[in-house]
């Protein structure tokens, strides 16, 4: 990472670090509705380097893009890849970690547009480096909250807190059982004899293209109707009061409610190493995302179905939806055979980790 920084800016960085990506095992679109989520950190992620500048210029070098992007902390977003770095630096200034611009270098082992939180890892990682530079005492959870503000307020994605908390707190091999209402969490070690295989469908998407926002707004209709923010926590009786709303709105609410309950069950099953029942909940989660929340696409549905057919105990789409990755729970000894058959049938798909 230091070499990339030196090549771009002619000096060594002041701060460097690594931030993992994340894959969500279960609990999709519950984090902005007061529900439970269960992401895990990946071995793949982002190596980041930063040096503060005395002026307001932000220069960015990345192994995924040619040249050096140059922005100014007075600028608004431009729907360019560099917005995530610029937003992180702007909010690092607001938090008192920095007092101007920065030179930033990024090297990533995460595929872009995969739903593995490369954006959250970029923002969290840079905020952590800026915190270190300022010798700040801000907690990792507070860094995650600040990073969410960058995505909500600067980038314009109405995401919840899951991604930021996962990449700020969890380490590879750990799942983060997170109550997104209270921000209370447990770290759970994943079993050694199973692999949570992350497979890219070959379908790419961006969360700021509007469909994620549309689902958030549909959930807001339910919240307004019930006068409640935490629609994941509604009772069966409260759910019945939605009968007069349009069918697709009712189905959005049903996904949030049932996904939250599935995730609570999944946390307990994982703690007790009951992976077969855990994997069944993954399958139920995918069906709910497909039929009630309508965020899958045919390629994802087919890969999930085939992953189970070829040896996985369970599988589901992971991430915001409309493309990206699946995650499959598979015994270690069955992983290679599953992958061989899966990629023979799905030519655009590829193994992430």
Return the H-helix or E-strand segment holding 164.
helix 162-169
DSSP of 68-109: EEEEETT----SSTTHHHHHHHHHHHHTTS-SS-EEEEEEE-
Cα(117)–Cα(105) distance, rounded to whole angstroms? 18
| Three-state secondary-structure class, residue 234 | coil
Tell me the residue ranges of DSSP E strands in the chain: 15-26, 36-52, 57-62, 65-72, 102-108, 174-179, 185-189, 194-200, 314-318, 325-331, 350-351
- For the four alpha carbons of 132, 138, 140 and 142, in that order, the dihedral sign comes to negative
Catalytic positions, written as ranges: 163
Phi, psi of 255 (to 5 degrees): -60, -50
């Amino acid at each position: 990472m230091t070499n990339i920084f030196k090549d771009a800016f002619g000096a060594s960085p002041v701060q460097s670090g690594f931030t993992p990506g994340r894959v969500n095992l279960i609990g999709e679109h519950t984090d902005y509705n007061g529900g439970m989520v269960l992401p895990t950190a990946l071995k793949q992620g982002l190596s980041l380097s930063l040096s503060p500048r005395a002026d307001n210029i932000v220069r960015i070098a990345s192994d995924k893009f040619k040249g050096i992007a140059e922005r100014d902390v007075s600028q608004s977003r431009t729907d360019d890849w560099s917005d995530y770095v610029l937003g992180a630096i702007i909010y690092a200034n607001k938090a008192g970690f920095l007092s101007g611009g920065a030179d930033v270098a990024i090297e990533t082992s995460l595929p872009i547009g995969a739903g593995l939180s490369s954006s959250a890892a970029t923002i969290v990682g840079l905020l952590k480096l800026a915190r270190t530079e300022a010798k700040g005492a801000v907690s990792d959870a507070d860094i995650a909250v600040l990073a969410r503000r960058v995505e909500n307020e600067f980038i314009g994605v109405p995401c919840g807190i899951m991604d930021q908390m996962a990449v700020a707190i969890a380490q590879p091999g750990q799942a983060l059982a997170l109550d997104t209402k209270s921000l209370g969490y447990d770290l759970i070690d994943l079993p050694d004899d199973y692999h949570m295989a992350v497979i890219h469908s070959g379908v790419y998407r961006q969360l700021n293209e509007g469909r994620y926002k549309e689902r958030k707004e549909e959930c807001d209709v339910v919240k307004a109707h019930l006068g409640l923010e935490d629609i994941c926590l509604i009772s069966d009786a409260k759910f019945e009061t939605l009968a007069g709303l349009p069918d697709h709105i009712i189905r959005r609410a049903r996904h949030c409610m049932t996904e939250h309950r599935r995730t609570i069950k999944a946390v307990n099953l994982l703690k007790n190493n009951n992976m077969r029942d855990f994997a069944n909940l993954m399958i139920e989660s995918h069906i709910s995302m497909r039929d009630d929340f309508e965020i899958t696409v045919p390629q994802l549905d087919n890969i999930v179905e085939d992953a189970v057919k070829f040896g996985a105990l369970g599988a589901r789409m992971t991430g915001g939806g409309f493309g990206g990755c699946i995650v499959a729970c598979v015994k270690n000894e069955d992983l290679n055979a599953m992958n061989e058959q899966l990629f023979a049938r799905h030519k655009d798909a590829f193994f992430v980790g």
